[in-house]
């Protein structure tokens, strides 16, 4: 009969489509579920410091003394927020020019040589695990800083140097992609007008790709902001705002790693650490939003 035959031919087609849609939809559902539960659980733990233990939000964000186990209990997280921002921003300040130079080298000055040698180097830097960076930082950078600069060797400077090497691949890769995506006509027009290569880079390439470069820098800052193990070994961990670049400081991540295992879940000391994690997570959202805003601007 004609009708069942056509239907029969349609059925496997149907089944395949159905399988495909359901399978991929489930995967996406899992993804969405994951992020929402991540946010939910971290937030519920972090917020319990305020709702269950009665700590004031403003006190947490602006207070200068952190003593959750002292008498009286103090929950000032400003030293950590300050530490996180200063190490990340300083790391980006170091890594951005380096990354820019590397990407210009790879795209403009020596493309073949660059792609063959510098690119693998950058990828390798990205692949080295963070525990190794922390260990090398503690063994090499801290003693070096201690001998050369006045201070303890540990601190924001040491943290920023270690972080800058870690985020260099991020910034370089994005910068390289941005530079390579430039329409050739732009550069050729500039050369045709008699500009030197540096003039072209400085006056044409850089301004045009600036939004994309900013994206890379912001992503680098976000990565540095969230790095825990490597930073904790070289930053000193005193819960104070340091008076110099070479004095012991703390970041949000180092504070969490340092004390999470020592506190019992459910206690106010533990909840306070979760609040720090919540701040960390919220900053991640802010970074993502900044990146999106930059991307939208670059599309104009």
Partner 1 sequence: MSAKTANKIATSVIVAVSGLIVLVLAGLLGYILVRGLGHISFDFLTSAPETIRRGGGIGPQLFNSVFLLFLTMIITIPLGLGAGIYMSEYAPANKVTNGIRLIVEVLSSVPSIIVGLFGLLVLVNLFGFGFSLFAGALALTVFNLPLMVRITEQGLRSVPREQKEASLALGLSKWKTITSVMLPIAMPVILTGTILAAGRVFGEAAALLFTAGMSSPRLDFSDWNPFSPFSPLNPFRPAETLAVHIWKINSEGLAPDAKEIAAGASAVLVITVLAFNFAARWLGRYLYRRFTAIK
Partner 2 sequence: MPAFYNMNCQEKNKELEGELYEMKKTVMMLMVLALTVVLAACGQNNNSGGASPSPESSAPASESPAAELSGSLLATGSSALLPLVEQASKKFMDIHKGVSIQVQAGGSGTGLTQVSEGQSDIGNSDVFAEEKLDAAKAAELVDHQVAVVGMAAVVNPNVSVDSLTKQQLVDIFTGKVTNWKDLGGEDQKIQIINRPSSSGTRATFETYALGQKSEDLQGSIQEDSSGTVRKLVGETPGAIGYLALSYLDESIKVLKYDGVEATVENVANGTYPVWAYEHMYTKGEPSELAKAFLDFMLTDEIQNNDVVELGYIPANKMEIKRDVNGTITK
Among 87, 227, 234, 294, binds partner 1 (CB under 8 A): 227
> What does the H/E/C string look like for the chain?
CHHHHHHHHHHHHHHHHHHHHHHHHHHHHHHHHHHHHHHHHHHHHHHHHHHCCCCCHHHHHHCCCEECCCCCCEECCHHHHHHHHHHHHHHHHHHHHHHHHHHHHHHHHCHHHHHHHHHHHHHHHHHCCHHHHHHHHHHHHHHHHHHHCCCCCCCHHHHHHHHHHHHHHHHHHHHHHHHHCCCHHHHHHHHHCCCCHHHHHHHHHHHHHHHHHHHHHHHHHHHHHHCCHHHHHHCECCCCCCCCCCCCECCHHHHHHHHHHHCCCCCHHHHHHHHHHHHHHHHHHHHHHHHHHHHHHHCC
Among 64, 93, 132, 193, binds partner 1 (CB under 8 A): 132
User: Which residue, 195 or 260, is less far from partner 2 as judged by CB?
Assistant: 260
Residue 62 binds which entry of partner 2, partner 1, none, CB below 5-8 Å type-dependent: none
137 CB burial (10 A radius; 0-12, 13-18, 19+): buried
> Which token pair is 158?
């040491």
Among 30, 54, 72, 147, binds partner 1 (CB under 8 A): 30
By CB under 8 A, residue 52 contacts partner 1: no
Among 96, 104, 141, 171, binds partner 1 (CB under 8 A): 104
Count of CB atoms situated within 10 Å of the CB of 280: 22
By CB under 8 A, residue 260 contacts partner 1: yes
Q: By CB under 8 A, name the binding residues for partner 2.
A: 2-3, 6-7, 10, 14, 17-18, 21-22, 25-26, 65-71, 138, 143, 146, 152-154, 233, 236-240, 242-243, 247-248, 258-267, 269-270
CB of 69 to partner 1, least distance (A): 20
Interactions with partner 1, residue window 184-213 (CB under 8 A)? 195-199, 201-202
Among 56, 64, 115, 123, binds partner 1 (CB under 8 A): 123
Binding mask 272-291 for partner 1 (x = CB under 8 A): --x--x--xx--xx-xx--x
CB of 300 to partner 1, least distance (A): 18
Residue 8 binds which entry of partner 2, partner 1, none, CB below 5-8 Å type-dependent: none
Among 129, 148, 189, 262, binds partner 1 (CB under 8 A): 129
Residue 286 binds which entry of partner 2, partner 1, none, CB below 5-8 Å type-dependent: none
Residue 93 binds which entry of partner 1, partner 2, none, CB below 5-8 Å type-dependent: none
């Amino acid at each position: 009969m004609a009708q069942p035959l056509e239907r029969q031919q349609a059925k496997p087609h149907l089944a395949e489509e159905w399988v495909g849609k359901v399978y991929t939809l489930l995967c996406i559902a899992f993804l969405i579920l994951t992020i929402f539960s991540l946010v939910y659980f971290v937030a519920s733990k972090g917020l319990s410091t305020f709702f269950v233990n009665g700590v004031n939000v403003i006190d947490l964000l602006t207070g200068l003394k952190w003593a959750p186990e002292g008498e009286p209990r103090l929950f000032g997280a400003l030293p950590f927020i300050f530490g996180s921002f200063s190490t990340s921003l300083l790391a980006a300040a170091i890594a951005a020019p380096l990354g820019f130079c590397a990407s210009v080298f790879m795209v403009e000055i020596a493309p073949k040589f660059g792609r063959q040698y510098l690119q693998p180097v950058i990828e390798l830097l990205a692949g080295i695990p963070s525990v190794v960076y922390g260990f090398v930082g503690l063994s090499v950078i801290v003693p070096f800083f201690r001998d050369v600069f006045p201070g303890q060797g540990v601190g924001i400077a040491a943290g920023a140097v270690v972080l800058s090497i870690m985020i260099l691949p991020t910034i370089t890769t994005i910068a390289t992609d941005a530079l390579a995506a430039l329409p050739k006509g732009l550069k050729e027009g500039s050369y045709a007008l008699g500009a030197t290569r540096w003039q072209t880079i400085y006056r044409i390439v850089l301004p045009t790709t600036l939004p994309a470069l900013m994206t890379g820098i912001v992503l680098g800052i976000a990565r540095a902001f969230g790095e825990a193990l490597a930073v904790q070994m070289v930053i000193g961990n005193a819960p104070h705002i340091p008076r110099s670049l070479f004095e012991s400081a703390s970041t949000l991540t180092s504070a969490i790693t340092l004390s999470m295992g020592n506190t019992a879940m459910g206690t106010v000391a533990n909840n306070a650490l979760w609040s720090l994690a919540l701040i960390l997570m919220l900053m991640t959202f802010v970074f993502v939003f900044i990146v999106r805003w930059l991307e939208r601007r670059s599309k104009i």
